[in-house]
Amino acid sequence: MPILGAKEMWQKADRWSAFESEMFHLNDKTNQTFCLQPTHEEMITKLIAEQGELRQAIYPLMLYQTGPKFRDEIAVGYGLLRSREFLMNDLYSFDVTEKNASDTYSLVNEVSIYYYIKFKTYKAKAVAIFKMNESELISKCSRSHIIRSIILQTYQRIFRDRLGINFYIVRADAGNIGGNVSHEYHLPCKTGRDSIAYCTNCNSGVSHDLLKHGEKPCYCSEKCISVVETIEIAHTFQLGDLFTKKFKAEYLGQPLKMNCFGIGIGRTIAALIDSMSPSAKALRLPYALTPFKVAIILPNKTQPETMAFAQDVINHLSQISSLQNDIFIDDRLDNSIGKRLLAASNLGIPHILVIGNRTARSLTSNPIVEYYRTEIHSDEPINVGDFDYVEMRYGFNLSTGKAHFSSITKIFWERFYVKRLSSMYTISNKVRGITVLTDNEKKLFSKEISLPIVVVPPKVVGRLIGCKEIANTTVERFCNKIKPVINMPTENEKAIVFCPEKMDDNTRNIVLKTIENLTGLMASFETYKVTLNYSDWPVKSCITAILPKGLEFGGFSQIGHIVHVNLREELLLYKKVIGTILLDKVTNCKTVVNKLDAIGHKYRTFKLDLLAGEENYKTEVHEEKLRYQLDFSQVFYNPRLSTEHKRIVQKISKRSIFYDCCAGIGPFVLPVVRNGAHHILANDLNPNCIDYIKRNMELNHLSFERLNLYNMDAAVFIKTVLADDLANEAKNYNISDSKNKTPADAHVVMNLPGMSLQFLPYFRGCLNNKLNLPDKILPFPFYVHCHFFVKAPDDLEDNWYFDEARNLICKSLGISKLHFTEVRFVRDVAGRKKMFCATFEVPGKLLFSSDTEELKIGEANNEELAETKGCNSDKSSDERTSAQRTFCETKTEKLEPELKKKRFMMEFIALPCRFSSIFRVTLSVRPLKPKTIQISSVKSLHIRKSIADKFSNRFRIDRVMYFGPELACLEWLMECGSTEVIMSDGTSITCRADMRRYISDFGFNFGSIPFPMVPFKWSPVLPTISMEKLDAIYDMRWAKKPDVYIVKVDATDSAIGDTGFQYFKECRQIEILKLNFCDFFTDKAIEHLISGRPSRTLRNIEIVANPYISDDFIRGIKRIRGLQRAHFYFLPCVAQQAGAVQSLKASLPNCRISFPELKEVGYGYGYTAENSSTK
């Protein structure tokens, strides 16, 4: 598209005079005047007019243009926002009739048009909404009463869905462009040069120009309308025949009708940078617009193994289609890693991978990938953590914009590192399985290693080590005995030590030839023998060596001289030897303890098991140049949260009010006191914490002038102390004569992740009747930083955790919407349990709410902490009988069936209205009233399902812990009426009596089943864990239970339901599962099946005649990767039968799948076989 436009063309459109002051002018040799065009409506219309009349089928005609435009700004500023040259993406459309043009405008924007009509009466004003076309509406009322509210969804897909930004759509003045209808798109920005008036009630708005002319967004209350600072990023116009009539762009003698749509590309990017970047030095953009998606920072040292590892990371990431050409590799090895990391962060690259070596503290010298991500509100990159080889091998998809990256195969890791370590730096298998570490056992750790060396004079060592041919073959440092260069007994000799795994005859010749060329010496290889003793091996190697294959040690935390471990159940047998190793090898360690239980005490402490060392729990830690003394047995302290402490403290200014509801020993309080604040109120329920805060204040020579300490429940603190102080500061805000004496904001920290959500409701209405403000808005912002846990029911994407974190906060506060300043992932606690910190500004209407139900102070502390909850304890027999009686006496009219799902049962099976025999055996239920018996078979089906879910299908933890998972599952299956269960010893169990005899033969008593005293935890089944390891964990965990397991389950015509499917999760080796004519389980059942061991062991599954399961259930079966046969028949709620089969075949290529069309009631076997034979 030409950027030059003739003056005559613009005068023909009557726009030269309107735009003349904003255009650049120039004259050619013939003194003809031209301009650099700021917009192209004239040029586009002239182009269409020159084509003559086009055939009707070509309309609507749409022309796209992306190019530069020019404007002679009076004052250039705001970077790209008001530049003299700017880039636009425009769409121009032409239609034959006005109606078609309006439809095109609606189609491009996916418009839903509503007309708001204002009716005036003597008593009130009302707004009515009519859904009708414009001609009908105009016939009923005048055009001046009509205000259009248009919902534009195409721009939502561009801005909101693709870029992830929020924006406003407002009615606007067409200005110099002209036209009938115009809309602007605005990005909210505090430094914006534009502004709009927007109604939060009906989501309508007007531009600043319309507002100046007296037009309002809507007719809602004035309180709903606010003025928002914004930046305009797009504009649309309905032009009609404004241009086509003047340029004679016609069809059948009538002017075409025209629309135009524009997005300012450069302006949008500039606006996003301005609104998202935390500072001038750190660029931040939406994920879709970042210059690169991943930055890889190579290590400064150039060891060949590490560089090969880095190259493999790059190769694997490059295979992801969404990351091609989006990987930034920083190989400026002369710059430090820190500088390159900061540079990548300043470019706004969302994912940064730093390849290097772990420190000695992390117990390994293997290469790692440190993962950082950039965040909108942080100048510096955020350290998420490290990846080890298991996470890499079963890695995740970085293209989702989350904190994971593609897989790096375990084979690669073994090729470069595991084999090398196993041949030279691996401890003897003689120590495997030891449970006590005495001097005799320590001798078993001794190992002699032979290394090739070359003896040379000391003066040539530096020259040789710097040579590439020699440096690449020397041994890596291991303890103090193995180093690349060692001293020889003779004073004038040193030896270069080579790695035996890198040496062959050819390499030896190259090394000797290199030494001869560099020094002129005729050197030769010798053998150097070194003995590695117990004291020479690192911690990780020693612990790995004593554990059975398949078990792994997770690591430790160090608090002063105390080393704290959290050993899983399968490692408890080796706790003493692990403790001794840690005591011997961890620097400054004097005490090693294991956490016996979850953090369940009201003072947030736990019982400690002394594994090794002295029983001295009083220690001292250092954090951010502050000293903290504590007694680890009386107070809780987490050394892994030092970064989180620093991050929160940085948000507190000298004029901030700071409240710490659960202060602990003061990791937030002391830095805030040192940095300065308006005043500080700290509280903790544990009196020992308050004592240690006082002691630590004195220890660090800090003043108590602005600090007040309280010892009470956090709920009481919020409702009384915090609320009173907040009300007092708000009252005195305008009284103070000095600005420095008034608070700038207030911050509340709630770092008690297990209970913080239970304290949030106490903010609701805490200022009611304590403060009388006319607008019920505090004169300063009031922020809450809440730390809490988010648990997932399954392996879910990171998106789910962030969404669930927001939902939990809103649910606790009892509101549907809340403005979050930041929702931050803090750390992983367990496989599906993560710690988050949500920062949000508390709405004034919440603090002054008067419709809140009275909450009982201290109620939260009386509840069991979330992280200590296993499953609910079973009710007593009296309680169960009462529950059954209450349920059976409930009118069946309340149990309305889902008719759509069960209509096929009426048509094909016509089940009789009765309870199955299993219910008569297992439940002591009073007979239903006679009128209840006279119900349809569909309602009977729903009633029987409800009863089964409530009683027979309850998951009983006590029975799993008492019988073991196999026998507990067997009991459940037979109690629910399964046809047959085959055990690993060949026993076939076909009835309840057989089951009870079989279990009793192992010495179990059905009459006295103790309730478990420890919380129940599921065994790990993640794909990152091999079956060998899973079996080792299973054998270790259930070693004291009978050595039998279920092989085949035929649950045909049984009452098994969703909740009961949890019994399958721990079963060792179920290979065949038949679920035919089982009408009590739904889509929820597959979640339990695929989250347990059957997802790895199941080979054959059958499902026939189920009225509940849908396409979701079939899709879930794709997670059972070892499946070899799957048969489905008579599943009416599977809507896309063919699609489900194709999806399964694509995911399970080795599985034989059959899903025949319904012909008759049965199993569908014959039809399948018949089809197979014909094929």
Residue 384 sits in a domain whose CATH number is: 3.40.50.800
**Encoding tokens for residue 1055?**
């009452």
Q: Give me the mean pLDDT over the 123-148 stretch.
A: 36
Q: What is the number of structural domains in the chain?
A: 8
Number of neighbouring beta carbons within 10 Å of residue 236: 25
Same domain for 242 and 306? no
| 366 vs 269: CA distance, rounded Å | 42
CA 473 to chain centre: 43
Q: Find out whether 645 is annotated in a ligand binding site.
A: yes
Q: Tell me if 430 is assigned to some domain.
A: no
CB neighbour burial string for 258-286, b if at least 16 within 10 angstroms, e if fewer: bbbbbbbbbbbbbbbbbbbbeeeebbbbb
Same domain for 982 and 929? no
Q: Tell me if 344 is assigned to some domain.
A: yes
Q: Which residues contact 705 (CB under 8 A, 6 or more apart)?
A: none
Same domain for 60 and 178? yes
Let me know if 166 is exposed, middle or buried by CB neighbors in 10 A (0-12, 13-18, 19+): exposed
Q: Tell me if 426 is assigned to some domain.
A: no
CA 471 to chain centre: 44
Q: Tell me if 633 is assigned to some domain.
A: no
Same domain for 308 and 398? yes
Instruction: Identify the top-confidence range among 300-309, 459-468, 991-1000, 1133-1142.
Output: 991-1000
Give yes or no for residue 142 having a pLDDT over 90: no
pLDDT of amino acid 1107:
85
Same domain for 896 and 748? no
Same domain for 81 and 197? yes
Same domain for 185 and 305? no
**In a 3-state reduction of DSSP, which class is residue 952?**
coil
Lowest mean pLDDT among 46-60, 850-864, 925-939: 925-939
Q: Tell me if 1023 is assigned to some domain.
A: yes
Q: What are phi and psi of 1136, to 5 degrees?
A: -110, 80
Q: Find out whether 685 is annotated in a ligand binding site.
A: yes
Q: Give me the mean pLDDT over the 1138-1153 stretch.
A: 87
Q: Find out whether 942 is annotated in a ligand binding site.
A: no
Q: Give me the mean pLDDT over the 84-92 stretch.
A: 86
Q: Decide which of 917 and 630 is more confident.
A: 630
Q: Find out whether 751 is annotated in a ligand binding site.
A: yes
**Residues in a beta bridge with 943:** none
Same domain for 295 and 265? no
Let me know if 683 is exposed, middle or buried by CB neighbors in 10 A (0-12, 13-18, 19+): buried
pLDDT in tens, 188-212: 886 677 888 888 777 788 888 888 8
Lowest mean pLDDT among 65-79, 434-448, 864-878: 864-878
**Encoding tokens for residue 831?**
């496989």
Give yes or no for residue 888 having a pLDDT over 90: no
Let me know if 599 is exposed, middle or buried by CB neighbors in 10 A (0-12, 13-18, 19+): middle
| 630 vs 817: CA distance, rounded Å | 41
- 572: domain range? 539-616
Q: What are phi and psi of 708, to 5 degrees?
A: -125, 135
Same domain for 710 and 822? yes
pLDDT of amino acid 965:
93
CA distances from 975 to 414, 948, 984 (A): 49, 11, 20
Q: Where are the alpha helices (DSSP H) in 495-586?
A: 505-519, 539-546, 575-585
Show which of 254, 276, 298 is a domain's final residue: 276
Give yes or no for residue 136 having a pLDDT over 70: no
Q: Tell me if 624 is assigned to some domain.
A: no
pLDDT of amino acid 105:
79
Instruction: Identify the top-confidence range among 401-410, 621-630, 796-805.
Output: 621-630
Contact 1103, 1131 (CB under 8 A): yes
CATH of the domain at 232: 3.30.930.10
pLDDT of amino acid 303:
61
Instruction: Identify the top-confidence range among 63-72, 144-153, 450-459.
Output: 450-459
CATH of the domain at 776: 3.40.50.150
| 12 vs 176: CA distance, rounded Å | 15
pLDDT in tens, 273-294: 887 888 878 888 888 888 888 8
| 1105 vs 1130: CA distance, rounded Å | 5
Q: Give me the mean pLDDT over the 1003-1010 stretch.
A: 77
Of the candidates 378, 401, 165, the residue with the CA atom closest to the CA atom of residue 281: 378
**In a 3-state reduction of DSSP, which class is residue 29?**
coil
Give yes or no for residue 112 having a pLDDT over 50: no
Contact 412, 310 (CB under 8 A): no
Same domain for 979 and 1065? yes
Show which of 247, 276, 305 is a domain's final residue: 276
Q: Find out whether 1111 is annotated in a ligand binding site.
A: no
Same domain for 399 and 454? no
pLDDT of amino acid 952:
63
Whether the bond into 60 is cis, omega within 30 of 0? yes
Q: Tell me if 631 is assigned to some domain.
A: no
Q: Find out whether 1075 is annotated in a ligand binding site.
A: no
Q: Give me the mean pLDDT over the 10-16 stretch.
A: 89
Contact 371, 408 (CB under 8 A): no
To the nearest 10°, report the CA torsion of 29, 32, 33, 39.
-100
Name the residue with tokens 């929702």: 823
CA distances from 1047 to 49, 980, 985, 1050 (A): 79, 11, 9, 10
Of the candidates 392, 371, 246, 401, the residue with the CA atom closest to the CA atom of residue 316: 392
**Residues in a beta bridge with 837:** 787, 824
Q: Give me the mean pLDDT over the 630-657 stretch.
A: 88
Spell out the SS3 assignment of 299-365: CCCCCHHHHHHHHHHHHHHHCCHHHCCCEEEECCCCCCHHHHHHHHHHCCCCEEEEEEECCHHHCCC
Q: Give me the mean pLDDT over the 598-617 stretch.
A: 73
Same domain for 164 and 203? yes
Contact 65, 1 (CB under 8 A): yes
CATH of the domain at 562: 3.30.300.110
Q: Tell me if 952 is assigned to some domain.
A: no
Contact 623, 649 (CB under 8 A): no
pLDDT of amino acid 945:
54
Q: Give me the mean pLDDT over the 995-1007 stretch.
A: 86
Number of neighbouring beta carbons within 10 Å of residue 58: 11
**In a 3-state reduction of DSSP, which class is residue 111?**
coil
Give yes or no for residue 13 having a pLDDT over 70: yes
pLDDT in tens, 1085-1121: 998 888 889 998 999 999 998 888 998 888 889 889 8
This prediction's pTM = 0.45
